[in-house]
Amino acid sequence: MFDYETLRCIWWLFLGVLLIGVAVMMGFDLGIAVLLPFLGKTDTERRVIINSVGATWEGNQTWFVTAGGALFAAFPMVYSVAFSGFYLALLLTLFALMMRPLGFDYRSKLPSERWRSNWDKALFVGGFVPALIFGVAFGNLLQGVPFHLDNDMRIFYDGSFWSLLNPFALLSGLLSVAMLTTHGAVYLQLRTEGEIQQRCEKAVMLFTIMMLVIFALAGVWVANIDGYAITSNILHDAPSNPLNKVVEKTAGLWMHNYQQYPLLILVPSLGFMAGVLTILLSKQQYLKSAFVSSSLTITSIILTAGVSMFPFLIPASQSINHSLTVWDASSSHTTLAIMFWVTVVFLPLIIVYTSWVFRVLSGKITLEHIHNNDHTAY
Amino acid sequence: MISESVVDLSRWQFAATSLYHFLFVPLTLGLSFLLAIMESTYLMTGREIYKDMTQFWGKLFGINFALGVATGLTMEFEFGMNWSYFSHYVGDVFGAPLAIEGLMAFFLEATFVGLFFFGWDKLTKWQHLIVTWLVAFGTNLSALWILVANGWMQNPVGADFNYETMRMEVTHFADLIFNPAAQVKFVHTVAAGYTTAAAFVLGISAYYMLNGRDAAFARRSYTIAAGFGLAACLSVIVLGDESGYTDGEVQKAKLAAIEAEWHTEPPPASFTAIGFPDQEKMETAYAIKIPWVLGLIGTRSIDEPITGLTEILEKNRVRVRNGMKAYGLLQTLRTGEKTPETIAEFNRYKKDLGYGMLLKRYTEKVVDATDAQIELAAQYSIPRVVPLFWTFRVMVGCGFIMLGVFIWAMFASSLRRCRQTTLLKWSLYMMPLPWIACETGWFVAEFGRQPWTIAEVLPTFLSASSLTEWDLYISLSGFIGLYTLFLVIELFLMLKFIKLGPSSLHKGRYHFEIAEGVDHV
């Protein structure tokens, strides 16, 4: 039905949709976990915070699991290079993420104060570490990753764990933390009342400003670091072989797409506008709109990274010709087509039933709610 | 070439983390259905006790589910982290069922599981029942897709090697889904999960009855578990995984290794019930053989032979030589000399390419392999018999003991005479058996496929990522440390709530609440 070139573009978009899904849905859970020790002063308040996402975090996290699966299916080489190259960073993320199911489910099953405060710490780690590392990973993708391929397509990673933690990547990490914490604060403001809600409002203000400042700073920085471009002819419908092209690496090349299509500048601009709007809406107590606006900010920030790099997925910083792009790191035409149909059938279905579940569980989580459900609430 | 110790450490890590993950999966698979059955009974009879049962067993389900989720994430990460060459080489095929699993099953399960726990007051009874069934349906659907992926590793149908991309690519996706190896695996695995959950509920209910607590609650739970368990246990045994072992050469080798079938016997082959296999001499000492049985189990017929290991080895010697040619031709193609003759020649030999790659263990170039190296590679293509022979018998032994107890429990329950101490003790003490059977079962399935990750296509030692030993030491010790801690915490909580029993629901009508004189809340 679709030709190979179109399907590759569609799958680049789907991947974007899934990543945005991760940031919007799982993002507020992570952000709320980061806020947990700061906004919850008593055990009951912390339980209010935890229960604001207690019944839905699991479905939210599935966006992440599915994005991983879709990356594997649609761009297997990208999945292989990223996961094996960032080995220790991902191990750390994995260990942090494991704290979440246990933290949510086990924390309030026992009354012991020490038991609960340890799980609170675990939940914080489970929110903060993944949020940071997702950003660090993006920061490294923008700079290029030191890997090369041999003729059998075996992957060799030539960097170290510590080289991932360079200044630009750390700045991206902070951007990600600020962005998801803002999002968490907006959601929490929507689901709570009284003092916690007021604290949320301040957090929204603080983290949105932080996010926008870092976003601007990162933008200026990206304009000056080495970007990548394909200089040889590349067939958009050839079998995926990342060894068949010539790549150039020069400072400022990431601005190339904006020079060619000036309208793209709307994408980051929208991010700034939506960010400011989030603060205003949160102040005026239009909380559902604030959540939409915050989601829009996230969408713009992620898309900004995406359109700056297109068609690159993972630039190779040393053997630059081995860079992985949309045109030469995808699955076969057949697999992309099959997965396209599976996605267009199931993704809308998922959105429908997820919305229904959120509607059923909507409403404020209050201190009384926790008192009345002492034995069943998280 | 990646170092052998990195491969070994990667294998240990994957084996440890996946076997650990599978401590929690079978209970989730089965208990979700038991919860749905209990809740359906609640709606049909309108009796509160069935709601209490759903909620109490649901609490234990939740404690188990959390660790299943936590350790399941590891599996998805590890393919890319530790097996990046595998992920590149077969991602086009193998990635699809994993992605479909996410879209079709995980979302369903994970989105509704929260409503199962927190939706009791927000939904009508019928809505809640539907939610519970959807959770059960979702968990089992996820098993389907992961076993489609695993079935393809055992019997890689519907895909072909593409020399331009240097990987396997999908040709017939339907073959992948209807792969007989996957179908059999799915039925066998979910039935094993149902058996596990039934044994779990049966054992704990027996414990309450032995202690004279919460009689009505325990007896009802016991009866449901006995019926469900008997049906499940019969399915596990009748629909044994080995019935799928006739498709694919590696499956045949696995079956021969499990049975220590050194030579092809005239059909129907006899079953070696017990004995002491010796791989070097290729014979089994003190073998006690039961005529006909293996042929019947393995082929479901009396006239098909079961191939012996000697004959498989003989074939594989030829295939390694052909694979060597295929590998040489592939190198020519990769350098750009794509003449029609070379392509045709390559297509003739490419089904043996994997066997050629086995030679990489002995010589980097493959095409210069000596006769001695070819012999080594052929020997290496045969799985190790002793561990498979014994683990398989442990699994089967556990299965038959459980079947006996379930039959007994079913009869006693239907005669309303399940409160006999001997039966209850048997029910309680057999609780570890389903887990032992599940773990040994997976060992047989995966160790029996060696030396391949994808049968006949990709050797295990080539599949691993090019990591350093230190990467592996760090990750392996991290997993061991964290997983041990998690297990201690989980068992502590599980035992605490099992001991509390339905009193943990704070409904005011169970053992400890009545004993302590707590009023109805």
What is the model's pLDDT at position B1? 60
A214 to chain B, minimum CA–CA distance in Å?
Answer: 30
- Minimal Cβ distance to A346: which of B104, B114, B123: B104
What is the model's pLDDT at position B275? 85
Please say if the pLDDT value at position B382 is more than 70: yes
Query: Which residues of chain B does A50 touch, with a Cβ-Cβ cutoff of 8 Å?
Result: none
A 132-151: CB under 8 A from B: 151
**pLDDT one-digit tens code per residue, B470-510:** 999 999 999 999 999 999 999 999 999 999 999 999 888 88
Q: How far apart are CA B128 and CA B58, in angstroms?
A: 13
B252 to chain A, minimum CA–CA distance in Å?
Answer: 29
Q: How far apart are CA B262 and CA B253, in angstroms?
A: 10
**pLDDT one-digit tens code per residue, B25-45:** 999 999 999 999 999 999 999
Q: How far apart are CA B441 and CA B438, in angstroms?
A: 5
Please say if the pLDDT value at position B435 is more than 70: yes
Contacts of B488 (CB under 8 A, 6+ apart): none
Residue of A nearest to B474 (CA): A88
Query: Which residues of chain A does B170 touch, with a Cβ-Cβ cutoff of 8 Å?
Result: 332, 334-335, 338
Q: Is-contact B179 B145, C-beta < 8 A?
A: no
**pLDDT one-digit tens code per residue, A96-121:** 999 999 999 999 999 999 999 999 99
Burial of B199 (C-beta count, 10 Å sphere; 0-12/13-18/19+): buried
| B166 φ/ψ angles, rounded to the nearest 5 degrees | 60, 45
What mean pLDDT is reported for chain A?
95
Q: Is-contact A191 A200, C-beta < 8 A?
A: no
- Please give the structure tokens belonging to residue A179: 């962005």
DSSP β-ladder status, B159-162 and A324-325: unpaired
Please say if the pLDDT value at position B397 is more than 70: yes
Q: State the DSSP H helix or E strand holding residue B480, giving kind and residue range, or none if neither.
A: helix B469-500
Q: Are B504 and A375 in contact (CB < 8 Å)?
A: yes
**pLDDT one-digit tens code per residue, A176-222:** 999 999 999 999 999 999 999 999 999 999 999 999 999 999 999 99
Q: How far apart are CA A166 and CA A317, in angstroms?
A: 14
Please say if the pLDDT value at position B148 is more than 50: yes
Please say if the pLDDT value at position B269 is more than 90: no
Place B244 in a pLDDT band, splitting at 50, 70 and 90: low
What is the model's pLDDT at position B55? 96
A 32-61: CB under 8 A from B: 54-59, 61
A92 to chain B, minimum CA–CA distance in Å?
Answer: 9
Sign of CA dihedral A198, A199, A205, A207: negative
- Please give the structure tokens belonging to residue A294: 């915050």
Q: Which of A60, A71, A94, A347 to mutate to test the interface with B (most CBs of B within 10 A)?
A: A94
Q: How many CB pairs under 8 A join A and B?
A: 235
Please say if the pLDDT value at position B520 is more than 60: no
Query: Which residues of chain A does B54 touch, with a Cβ-Cβ cutoff of 8 Å?
Result: none
What is the model's pLDDT at position B247? 67
Residue of B nearest to A328 (CA): B165
What is the model's pLDDT at position B431? 96
Please say if the pLDDT value at position B193 is more than 90: yes
Place A316 in a pLDDT band, splitting at 50, 70 and 90: very high
Q: Which of B52, B92, B500 to mutate to test the interface with A (most CBs of A within 10 A)?
A: B92
Place B518 in a pLDDT band, splitting at 50, 70 and 90: very low
Chain B touched by A337 (CB under 8 Å): no
Q: How far apart are CA A294 and CA A278, in angstroms?
A: 6
Q: How far apart are CA B10 and CA B83, in angstroms?
A: 8
- Please give the structure tokens belonging to residue B361: 């263990």
Mean pLDDT (whole number) for A52-72? 95
| Region of poorest pLDDT, from A233-237, A287-291, B177-181, B510-514 | B510-514
Query: Which residues of chain B does A94 touch, with a Cβ-Cβ cutoff of 8 Å?
Result: 73-74, 77
Query: Which residues of chain B does A155 touch, with a Cβ-Cβ cutoff of 8 Å?
Result: 84-85, 88, 465-466
What is the model's pLDDT at position B240? 75
- Token pair 């919860």 is found at B35
Sign of CA dihedral B115, B117, B119, B124: positive
What is the model's pLDDT at position B242? 63
Q: What stretches of B101-256 adopt beta strand conformation (E)?
A: 159-162, 167-170
Q: How far apart are CA B447 and CA B390, in angstroms?
A: 12
Query: Which residues of chain B does A239 touch, with a Cβ-Cβ cutoff of 8 Å?
Result: 162, 164-165
Query: Which residues of chain B does A54 touch, with a Cβ-Cβ cutoff of 8 Å?
Result: 114, 118
A 206-245: CB under 8 A from B: 239-241
Q: Are B114 and A97 in contact (CB < 8 Å)?
A: no
Torsion angle of the four alpha carbons B315, B318, B324, B325, in this order, in degrees rounded to the nearest 10 = -120
Nearest to B460 by CA among B451, B470, B449: B451
Q: Is-contact B358 B373, C-beta < 8 A?
A: no
Q: Are A66 and B102 in contact (CB < 8 Å)?
A: yes
Q: Which of B55, B60, B100 to mutate to test the interface with A (most CBs of A within 10 A)?
A: B100
Quote the percentage of chain B above a pLDDT of 70: 96
- Token pair 């409403």 is found at A363
B455 to chain A, minimum CA–CA distance in Å?
Answer: 19
Q: Which of A109, A313, A332, A370 to mutate to test the interface with B (most CBs of B within 10 A)?
A: A332
Query: Which residues of chain A does B63 touch, with a Cβ-Cβ cutoff of 8 Å?
Result: 105-106, 109
Q: How far apart are CA B375 and CA B151, in angstroms?
A: 29
What is the model's pLDDT at position A253? 93
Mean pLDDT (whole number) for B88-111? 96
Q: Which of A8, A26, A84 to mutate to test the interface with B (most CBs of B within 10 A)?
A: A84
Please say if the pLDDT value at position A55 is more than 70: yes
Q: How far apart are CA B66 and CA B439, in angstroms?
A: 20
What is the model's pLDDT at position A376? 87
Residue A229, strand partner residues: A248
- Minimal Cβ distance to A84: which of B100, B118, B467: B467
Q: One-letter amino acid identity for A109? A: K
Contacts of B84 (CB under 8 A, 6+ apart): A80, A81, A83, A84, A155, B464, B465, B466
Instruction: State in Å, rounded, how far the first CA of chain B is from the last one.
Output: 68
What is the model's pLDDT at position B263? 87
- Minimal Cβ distance to A80: which of B62, B76, B80: B80
Q: Are A68 and B114 in contact (CB < 8 Å)?
A: no
Q: Are B92 and A68 in contact (CB < 8 Å)?
A: no
